[in-house]
């Protein structure tokens, strides 16, 4: 009998969420642990697998589980390793898929978080049925998962889809990005980027703004959104500026893979129309003419809390996948 | 018995070249006609097919021919149409694959010229054996063919790979591009772009240069190269500037599909090291750190005269291809 469930893991810098998912994309139960609490990767994996087993037992035991899919920063689909992730407590190369597989006795496949989101969107979300789309995650940073002909693009080394680190500003004013480069779109169109824009504009002008009620270094993208909703002109212009820059980059991305749609996901998308409108306007102003008004820009339809778990789980349902699943060492197939 | 030959057509704005190719990539014989001479597409196709049949007869007749592959500007792989090509005499939508197939009685498949070059490079050139690379054609314009997992990327509508129309300059100084946008890399890193840089620099400074011996509006990229070879400082700096801009864009392209190599093709590559050195330096300065010094930049190894014919012919040998070949209407399969 086909094993009916998959475990999905969404490893973030702060929290690691995980859940049991069925083939229809229902998250049957879920839980989380604090990622940063475990400086030893072995201890982290031990605790994570113990907690996963509690969920698994509640669903009939590990015999019901086909495999584990995990989305994690800097995860390499080809090797199953997490490599030099800046926002995780473990440095160097971590053979994560193997470590999970050893502990749970089922195969494990991993990919980076944005690719996991793309898988989830294609399997369960607004990109269902689409063969060509680009997923852009607008969270603390800007991530991307590119789908061409129904497959996530991994490239030669497994690290394809780093669109957050393509350049939008190339002059002397370009902001430093966390990646060590300057002018990356991540430094502008992420939640952090919006906060930086606000801080820059507030500190270099005398314009009135509700944002001045907040200590400069404490202003967040959420504050900018709240101020914009109250009609604050500067706050509205910050979203206009952010959307315009992102739209310019989306025009470049369209010229690459000619997607049917671009799907936006992550915390910053909660801004809604105030972000979407300038993005769409800028995309259609800047794109090569035969794509004008032809490429859909959509917000993800997946629930925030479930999307990454679902996306990670979709890795295991994906029968076409070309990466080997890590070997199981404690059970026979 | 497997039919041993394929016809390759390379349609350019000026000349249309064509030849008979065997499965090993030998161009057995070839010829050409003037594209611009035929303002009626029917007349063009009649003459082209008559000339092709002369080559075919010399190789044993049409029974020996498996199909026709054509590379052409704005050619759509999915539909077999040439759509609104700015540099061709025929406007609107031309059902080229069907027109050729009707006349020759064998299937025809078409793609844009840069994709044809990528196919040729993958089948017969420096990208042989590579599954992930990007072909950049540096001719009158800048074209691109993107290969992921061994397949040319066509995208949702068949027009993927317009990297020449991604932006390198986004400020008020950005040059007009032939596509109607401003600041596209095509306006800088093509043969025309190099000539424009020379004309701009000559007209806005008093610097000494051998290029001043040529009337300003007659300066070509070839003149700039010749002057650079004679040690002209301005000419050398023009190639430095061109390579730097192109390298910056290549860094963005790498972040998209993580290719094993970028292959450069076309007239401008005759400049050799004087162009390659700044490209490679700029790519490695601007790329996300884990790709630094890891992505090969190569010049095409195919003979200029044969490359596009070979590339177009490779479309027919490509058994994995997902576009239907145009139906043959005059012979049974």
In this structure, are A279 and A152 located in the same domain? Answer: yes
Q: Is any Cβ of chain A less than 8 angstroms from the Cβ of B257?
A: yes
A332 pLDDT tier (thresholds 50, 70, 90)? very low
Question: Is A163 within 8 Å of B256 when comparing Cβ atoms?
Answer: yes
Give me the residues of B, 209-248, that contact A with CB < 8 A.
248
Higher pLDDT, A124 or B251: B251
- B143 plus B278 within the same structural domain: yes
Give the mean model confidence (pLDDT) for residues A285-309: 89
Domain that holds residue A254: 129-301
In the Cβ-directed half-sphere of A173, how many Cα atoms lie within 13 Å?
A: 6
What does the buried/exposed string (b/e) look like for A38-69 if buried means 16 or more CB atoms within 10 Å of the residue's CB?
A: beebeebbeebbeebbebbeebeebebbbbbb
Domain at A296, CATH number:
3.30.420.40
Distance from CA of B27 to the nearest CA of A (A): 31
Res B295: pLDDT: 98
In a domain, B326, yes or no: no
Using a CB-CB cut-off of 8 Å, the residues of chain B touching A178 are none
Residue A255 touches partner B, C-beta closer than 8 Å: yes
Examine the domain organization and report whether B180 and B94 are in the same domain.
Answer: no
What is the number of alpha carbons within 13 Å of residue B327 lying toward its C-beta?
A: 3
The distance of Cα A111 from the centroid of its chain, to the nearest Å, equals: 11
Residues A271 and A160 in one domain: yes
Domain identity same for B284 and B154:
yes
The total of structural domains in chain A comes to: 2
* pLDDT at residue number B218: 97
Contacts of A148 in chain B (CB under 8 A): 148, 153, 155, 160
Complex-level ipTM: 0.90
Q: Would an 8 Å CB–CB cutoff place B148 in contact with chain A?
A: yes
What are the tokens at A256?
């690459």
Strand-pairing partners, residue A152, are: A147
**Region for A255 from its dihedrals, namely left if φ exceeds 0, alpha if ψ lies in -120 to 50, beta otherwise:** alpha
Identify the pLDDT of residue A328: 47
**Chain B residues near residue A260 by CB distance under 8 angstroms:** 156
- Full DSSP string of B294-331: TSEEEE--S-HHHHHHHHHHHHHH-TT--SPPPPPSSS
Cα separations in angstroms, A311 against A18, A284, B50? 11, 29, 55
B253 lies within 8 A of chain A by CB: yes
Judge whether B256 and A161 are in contact, CB under 8 Å.
yes
Q: Once rounded to an integer, what is the mean pLDDT over residues A202-214?
A: 96
Q: Are residues A220 and A156 in the same domain?
A: yes
Whether A329 is in a domain gets the answer no
Q: Is B225 within a domain? A: yes
User: Is A25 within a domain?
Assistant: yes
Q: What part of B 31-90 touches A (C-beta under 8 Å)?
A: 83-84
A290 shares its domain with A174: yes
Q: Is residue A323 part of a domain?
A: no
Q: Is the pLDDT of residue A66 over 70?
A: yes
For residues A121-136, average pLDDT: 94
User: What pLDDT is recorded for position A98?
Assistant: 97
Q: Are residues A180 and A295 in the same domain?
A: yes
Task: Say what the pLDDT of residue B333 is.
Answer: 35
On whether both B235 and B103 belong to a single domain, the answer is no
Residue A100 sits in the same domain as residue A146: no
Band (A124; pLDDT cuts 50, 70, 90):
confident
> In this structure, are A110 and A134 located in the same domain?
no
A323 contacts on B by Cβ (under 8 Å): none
Mean pLDDT of A291-299: 97
DSSP letters for A127-195: TTT-SSEEEEEESSSEEEEEEETTEE--TTTS----GGGSBS--STTPPB-TTS-BSBTHHHHSHHHHH
A332 occurs within a structural domain: no
CA distance B283 to chain A (A): 12
Probe site for chain A from B93, B154, B159, B257 (most A CB atoms < 10 A): B257
B interface test, pick of A92, A112, A257, A322 with most B CB neighbours within 10 Å = A257
Between CA A299 and CA A293 the distance in angstroms is 17
Q: Is residue A310 part of a domain?
A: yes
Residues of B in contact with A82 (CB under 8 A): none
Q: Are residues A60 and A142 in the same domain?
A: no
Q: Closest approach of chain B CAs to the CA of A39, in angstroms? A: 24
The pLDDT value recorded for residue B321 is 54
Per-block mean pLDDT, blocks of 10 residues, chain B (333 long): 90 92 92 95 97 97 96 93 88 95 96 91 92 95 95 95 96 92 96 97 96 97 97 98 98 98 94 97 95 97 80 80 53 38
Residue B324 domain-assigned (yes or no):
no
């Amino acid at each position: 009998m086909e094993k009916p469930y998959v475990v999905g893991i969404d490893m973030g810098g702060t929290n690691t969420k995980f859940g049991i998912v069925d083939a229809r994309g229902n998250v049957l139960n879920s839980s989380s642990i604090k990622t940063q609490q475990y400086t030893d990767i072995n201890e982290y994996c031990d605790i994570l697998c113990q907690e996963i087993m509690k969920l698994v037992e509640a669903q009939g035991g590990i015999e019901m589980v086909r495999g584990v899919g995990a989305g994690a920063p800097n995860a390499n689909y080809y090797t199953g390793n997490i490599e030099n992730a800046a926002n995780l407590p473990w440095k160097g190369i971590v053979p994560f898929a193997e470590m999970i597989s050893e502990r749970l006795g089922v195969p494990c496949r991993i990919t980076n978080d944005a690719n996991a989101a793309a898988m989830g969107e294609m399997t369960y979300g607004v990109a269902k049925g689409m063969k060509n789309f680009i997923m852009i995650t607008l969270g603390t940073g800007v991530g991307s998962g590119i789908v061409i002909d129904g497959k996530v693009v991994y490239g030669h080394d497994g690290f394809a889809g780093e669109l957050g680190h393509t350049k939008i500003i190339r002059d002397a004013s370009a902001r430093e990005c966390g990646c060590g480069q300057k002018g990356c779109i991540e430094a502008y169109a992420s939640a952090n980027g919006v906060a930086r824009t606000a801080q820059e504009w507030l500190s270099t002008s005398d314009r009135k703004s509700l944002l001045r009620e907040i200590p400069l270094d404490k202003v967040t993208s959420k504050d900018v959104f709240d101020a914009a909703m109250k009609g604050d002109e500067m706050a509205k212009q910050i979203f206009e500026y952010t959307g315009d820059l992102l739209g310019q980059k989306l025009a470049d991305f369209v010229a690459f893979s000619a997607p049917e749609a671009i799907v936006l996901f992550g915390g910053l998308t909660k801004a809604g129309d105030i972000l979407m409108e300038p993005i769409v306007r800028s995309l259609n102003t800047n794109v090569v003419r035969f794509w004008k008004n032809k490429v859909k820009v959509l917000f993800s339809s997946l629930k925030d809390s479930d999307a990454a778990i679902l996306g990670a789980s979709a890795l295991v349902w994906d029968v076409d996948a070309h990466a080997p699943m890590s070997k199981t060492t404690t059970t026979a197939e």
